[in-house]
Structure 1
């Protein structure tokens, strides 16, 4: 006798209803907690981000090396080898001195916060009239303001600002997801009770 795995059908998994609101709530709580940790330890967070980015760039360099040998012709090989060299130099530089890498990372975070803020504001405007739309707009505005503050203090504040601002952004995004998830979960429970 072989065991079978129950399949998901019609919004249930193994007979248990799937509740997207509860999932969003859980993800929001995790993001909020990670944001609080980053705020409490901003320097460690900044250095960790710098190290993680350096490691990702080195891995990217290895992928470009592997792809270079599969590229057709010497031009394809040369281009992939050049990209591998750029990735490797940037990644090794960040890994060798992550504190100095924070200044460059600060500029990248300015772009991240700005893009994140614009997307969240647009999402909130698109959701206009729906519950939770204002939370996305508020979170987006906070991210845009953080991008401006980070740019204004660059590079002297990069050692602490990267981790702190990243933590605040995570916290605000997490809290917006918590509020939207709580409302969606209430709606799902009401709808389930009347069905």
Structure 2
């Protein structure tokens, strides 16, 4: 057993990953490649992300409306039905106007970053004089600045910001998987 932050990994699972390191490497490189493609097409990546969000909201809305018919009583029915209807309408609107939806999501992202930044800074001040409080203060300051930058560029950055975040995520995740696969191969050869 190997201990990780997610819990123990059984040796048999690790051996399975080592045996298939090439597949993991190919998967990581493919994801990284998608990230690079998204970098060069951030507007298309933004629209694709909005379509994905819209589809999940529409599915969630339909499921909640279906669940509304399973509950007893008018008040629970009405609550579930209205929530489902709201989700469904938001999902459909995302399909019909993805740029408006990306504008709304970018605005929410900016405000979320502001709030999280302020909360992290407050947490950092409350942890003082501990030595790690400065890290929390720094993280909060960076998050707060990111929120300010997002909001300062809104609504123009709505066309590319979500796509850029997707591109960065895909590229870094792909590289991390590829490095993990290479490390698995090296540990297999060394062992």
Q: Could you report, residue by residue, the CA deviation over 1:11-48 in whole angstroms, capped at 9, with x for unpaired residues?
A: 39xxxx62257154333222201111111111111111
Instruction: Identify the residue that residue 138 of structure 2 maps to in structure 1.
Output: none
Q: CA deviation at 1:81?
A: 0.4
Name structure 2 gaps, 5 residues minimum.
Answer: 1-10, 117-142
Instruction: Identify the residue that residue 45 of structure 1 maps to in structure 2.
Output: 45
Instruction: Identify the residue that residue 11 of structure 1 maps to in structure 2.
Output: 12
RMSD of Structure 2 on Structure 1 (CA): 3.3
Instruction: Identify the residue that residue 171 of structure 1 maps to in structure 2.
Output: 171
The 5 Å alignment of 1:108-187 reads: 150-187=150-187
Q: TM-score, normalised by structure 2?
A: 0.66
Q: Runs ≥4 in structure 1, deviation > 6 angstroms?
A: none
Q: CA deviation at 1:187?
A: 0.2
Contact 1:109-1:147 at 8 Å conserved across structures: no
Name structure 1 gaps, 5 residues minimum.
Answer: 1-9, 116-143
Contact 1:109-1:162 at 8 Å conserved across structures: no
Distance 2:105 2:51 in 1: 11
Distance 1:88 1:32 in 2: 33
Q: TM-score, normalised by structure 1?
A: 0.64
Which SS does the other structure have where 1:19 is aligned? helix
Instruction: Identify the residue that residue 133 of structure 1 maps to in structure 2.
Output: none
Aligned residues, how many?
152
Q: CA deviation at 1:152?
A: 4.6
Instruction: Identify the residue that residue 188 of structure 1 maps to in structure 2.
Output: 188
